[in-house]
Amino acid sequence: MHKALLIKPVHCTACQQCEMACSYMKVGAFNPSKSAIKIFTFDGGGVKVPYTCTQCNEAWCMMVCPVGAITLNTETGAKVVTEARCVGCKVCTIACPFGTINYNSDKGVVTKCDLCNGTPACVEVCPTNALTYVDADNLNSDRMQTHAEKSHTSAGEVAHKTL
């Protein structure tokens, strides 16, 4: 059974612990600019929303990669970048409708959330439980994601599917 990141914007305090943990896991340094999760601010600073790859069912990033560097991890459901195969063309960054794939200029490859192989570091460090990792089957994430897109994630919970 796959799991999903469940994001509860109302609990986020923008402490950046998720960004720090992610960057440490990704590049071995506490550098939010290298993180695969970002804190976005909406409503003039009133709403803070952690945001990362939604692990789309029909992952455009994976479909457009000319070298097959983005593949499905069948155990976690995450779409994972194989750095050794990535040529840094950035086509996937253009294809992603959510802008959650980033180019790492230090390595010359793209990076995105890979759910830390089933143990998301962002969830482990979140002090307010704004980020949780739950069974995807227990979520009605399609409906929540549609609602979030309509309301610009200003209220409620947003599920990031990993199916």
Please provide the CATH number assigned to the domain covering 3-160.
Answer: 3.30.70.20
From CA 78, how far away is CA 135, in angstroms rounded?
A: 14
Q: Where are the domains positioned within the chain?
A: 3-160
pLDDT digits (tens, 9 = 90+) for 49-103: 999 998 998 999 999 999 999 999 999 999 999 999 999 999 999 999 999 999 9
Give whole-number Cα distances, 91 to 43, 63, 66, 85, 158, in Å: 31, 10, 8, 14, 27
Tell me: the pLDDT tens digits for 97-154?
A: 999 999 999 999 999 999 999 999 999 999 999 999 998 876 655 545 555 555 444 4
Q: What angle do CA 105, 130, 141 make, to 5 degrees?
A: 90
Instruction: For 15-47, give the DSSP string.
Output: --HHHHHHHHHHHSS--GGG-S-EEEEEGGGTE
Indicate the pTM of the whole model.
0.81
DSSP type of residue 130 = S
